[in-house]
Structure 1
Amino acid sequence: MSGDAPKARRRSELRAFLMSRRARVTPADAGLPDGGARRRTPGLRREEVAVLAGVGASWYQWLEQGRNISVSPQVLDSVARVLRLSNAERRHLYVLAGMNPPVPEIEPDRQRDICEGLQRLIDAWMPYPAHIMDLYYNTVLHNDAAATVLGMRPGITQNCLVDFFTDPMYRSRSRSWEQNARTVVAQFRAACLASPDDDGFQAVAAELKSASAEFTELWERRDIEEAGQIRKEMDHPLLGLLCFESSVMRLPARPDLSIVLHTPLNEADTAGKLEWLASPEGRRGAMYPMAG
């Protein structure tokens, strides 16, 4: 009996959710005559939703009643379209109907606000390096510390994995390159396997195989690791040794992006050195050309 309780709650929520979404869509929104004063139902009637979605009236009534009926993604998408559901609401409908939700999508009018908020987020991480990358490890945003410490700058590919293997500045600064190379490739292979039909991953791998024998050798090992934390040691031309813990975190607001935060470890006075580098004195020192 206890196992039926969650299912009953889900069906009850499905009924309430569909009724509330149906009530907010006017006939005019759906391209229907409003019926004037004779219309008593707020929003669309069940029968109207069924016709507009191309499903049977009885089937839609059973769906809204939370009955145990079979549903398909195509039908749920039709209902979502008629009810003018947002991407988040569409995913919620899938969950309430007992199906795996589709990949999250971002409303076009929210993308700019989210990107501006993400830039504020990584700027607030100063004086420590932070950057945002997409699914294919392309750098989307970075803060000033990522530029002065990690070497992110115009004129390079701006792909974290490609630059890891091919950027001479990063290679010259990274003391932990050999230790981290296998992990970095294994994590990228795990991301590739999670989306086997996505050509974007294959394009990055193909570019690296043509540019780096070291990548090719590690790629052919077929090691797999989940994204997580990596210890990084950098040899900065002004600051000397810097020790970080690099953490990769997915962003629920933008599932196509990840934030990479570099937290200073309690070694080599890393935090103090970075605070000096971000000071007016440190910024003046960083203006002069540096080897590496």
Structure 2
Amino acid sequence: MTTTVRRTELSEFLRAHRAAVSPADAGLPAGPRRRTPGLRREEVAVLAGVGVSWYQWLEQGRDITVSGQVLDAVARVLRLTDPERRHLYVLAGLNPPLPTEPAEQTLGADITRLLDGWLPNPAHVVDRYWNFVAANASARALFGWEHTIAGNCLVDFFTDALYRARYRHWERVAPTVLAHYRHEMTLHGPDDGYTAVLADLAERSTEFAELWSRQEVQPPNPTVKTLLHPRVGELVVEGRMLHLPDRPDVALVLHTPRNAESAARIAELTHSVPQPA
């Protein structure tokens, strides 16, 4: 997007959203002679605490200096949603803020249906720190979550003997796993949750400390894994982490068999899992 196009879209975006906010929405009297649909420019400026001329220049798409604090004030007056506020940042030439975490942290029925719909293949859900959230029957059987309570998937990857035994080439996979985790930290922004996970691992695993010091970063692209299961043997699968736009607090991890033998063995494993009464 060129600068000229961006400023034109900024002007159109602000005008459209200003027109969509009624005086009553903003706590203002409508007045008998109001011709402008929605709010007037000077009303937006006053309510946002900015100069009238400055807001007029902003809406005209002029080359002026803007700050996130002022854009947030304008977004509040125009009653922008979180995605709209982030779009306003982009049009104004600023890096958008991180998405706001949803107030509802429990999994909805739609995500549960996604997990079950992926059967007989494994699928599970983790939060932004890779704490285990939920899994379908296939994933529970594959990773040994049938009889244990899963914790943090990164911590278990390095410290849980059963979890490590599932990987034929654990040493090859480990650096990629950590590069993915560092990318997730960059995506969400470091905070105390990531600090706690990393501090826990640094105390419990010298292998983690050595690999983490490499400072490698890699997006979670599809990764081919060779997994071993004591009942059905070797499984070659492709793992994929999917971020859900409306739920930035969780990610869906899907595994797809790469050959017919693996598909048959995963189906056998899944069918052997006792179904809830």
**Map of 2:157 onto structure 1:** 164
Q: Report which structure shows greater RCO (CA 8 Å, sep ≥6).
A: 2
> Are residues 1:7 and 2:3 paired?
yes
Within a 5 Å distance, the mapping from 1:9-24 to structure 2 comes to 9-24=5-20
Q: Write the letter of the residue equivalent to 2:72.
A: D
Corresponding position of 2:174: 181
Q: CA deviation at 1:128?
A: 0.9
Deviation at 1:263, TM superposition (A): 1.2
Instruction: Using the TM superposition, give the Cα deviation of residue 57 of structure 1 relative to its aligned residue in structure 2, in angstroms.
Output: 0.8
Distance in 2 between the 1:275 and 1:203 partners? Answer: 37
Q: TM-score, normalised by structure 2?
A: 0.87
SS at match of 1:201: helix
Determine if the alignment matches structure 1 residue 275 to structure 2 residue 252: no
Which residue number corresponds to residue 121 of structure 1? 114
Residues 96-116 of structure 1: per-residue CA shift (max 9 Å, x gap): 21222111225547x66x743
Gaps in structure 2 of 5+ consecutive residues: none
Contact 1:192 1:202 in 2 (8 A): no
Residues 15, 249 of structure 1: alpha-carbon distance in 2 compared, 3 angstrom cutoff: same
Q: Are 2:116 and 1:139 equivalent residues in the alignment?
A: no
SS in 1 for 2:94: coil
- Per the alignment, in what secondary structure is the counterpart of residue 149 of structure 2? coil
> What is the root-mean-square deviation in Å for CA atoms of aligned residues?
2.7
Q: TM-score, normalised by structure 1?
A: 0.83
Does structure 1 residue 67 correspond to structure 2 residue 62? yes
1:278 is paired with a residue of what secondary structure?
A: helix
Which of 22, 26, 42 pairs up with 2:22? 26
Matches of residues 1-292 of structure 1 in structure 2 within 5 Å? 6-35=2-31, 37-106=32-101, 108=103, 115-153=108-146, 155-192=148-185, 197-266=190-259, 269-279=261-271, 282-283=272-273
Name the CA distance, whole Å, in 1 between partners of 2:199 and 2:149.
18
Note closer, same or farther for the CA distance 1:62–1:223 as it changes in structure 2 (3 Å cut): closer
Distance 1:25 1:221, change over 3 A: closer
**Alpha-carbon deviation of 1:213?**
3.0
The alignment-based identity, stated in percent, is 52
What residue ranges of structure 1 are gaps of 5+ in the alignment?
Answer: 288-292
SS of the aligned residue for 1:238 comes to coil
Provide closer, same or farther for how the CA distance between residues 147 and 26 of structure 1 changes in structure 2, counting only shifts above 3 A: same
Deviation by residue 1:248-274 (Cα, 9 ceiling, x = unmatched) = 23333333433221111116x110122
Q: What is the distance in 1 between the residues matched to 2:240 and 2:127?
A: 15
Paired residue secondary structure (2:21):
coil
Q: SS where residue 273 of structure 2 aligns?
A: helix
Q: Aligned letter for 2:45?
A: A
